[in-house]
Amino acid sequence: MSQSKEPTESRRRFLQLMVVSMGSACAGGVSLFARAGELPHLTDADPTAKVMNYVDDATSSKHALYKAGSICANCQFYHGPDAGYGTCQLFPGKAVNAKGWCSSYTPKKG
């Protein structure tokens, strides 16, 4: 019997979001709306970035969920310019590259 990978992917994504949520709660005083220029840049060495499979350049992602054209700049969690760095709800206190990507990428609606 062949089981679908979808429940496993959903479970994995839920756990990733839980880790990020707990990290966000611990970050406490960091505003999600801080100017990206004032924040340190997120790197793939960051523990949360590792869990979320973040890459600074989306085209370098080898993750199975990555689809061409999926970048932080067109993700619903990203706030900022289409080039350069902005803020992300999933990585409070860090500036993310507009051309980056993570496994929680969710396209902006409408």
- Residue 14 in any domain: the answer is yes
Share of the chain above pLDDT 70, in %: 73
For residue 63, the enclosing domain spans 6-97
- Residue 54 in any domain: the answer is yes
- Residue 89 in any domain: the answer is yes
Calpha distance 11→29 (Å, rounded): 29
Could you give the residue ranges of the DSSP H alpha helices within the chain?
6-27, 47-51
- Residue 104 in any domain: the answer is no
Instruction: Check: pTM over 0.85? Answer yes or no.
Output: no
Indicate the SS3 state at residue 93: coil
- Residue 40 in any domain: the answer is yes
Q: What is the pLDDT of residue 26?
A: 46
Confidence of residue 3 (pLDDT cuts 50, 70, 90): low
Lowest-confidence segment of 25-34, 61-70, 83-92 by average pLDDT = 25-34
- Residue 69 in any domain: the answer is yes
- Residue 86 in any domain: the answer is yes
Share of the chain above pLDDT 90, in %: 63
Confidence of residue 107 (pLDDT cuts 50, 70, 90): very high
Average confidence (pLDDT) over 49-54? 96
Confidence of residue 108 (pLDDT cuts 50, 70, 90): very high
Burial label for 96, CB within 10 Å (0-12, 13-18, 19+), is: buried
**Confidence check: pLDDT of 9 > 80:** no
Report the CATH number at residue 87. 4.10.490.10
| Number of structural domains in the chain | 1
- Residue 107 in any domain: the answer is no
Distance separating the N- and C-terminal Cα atoms of the chain = 39
Mean pLDDT of the chain: 83
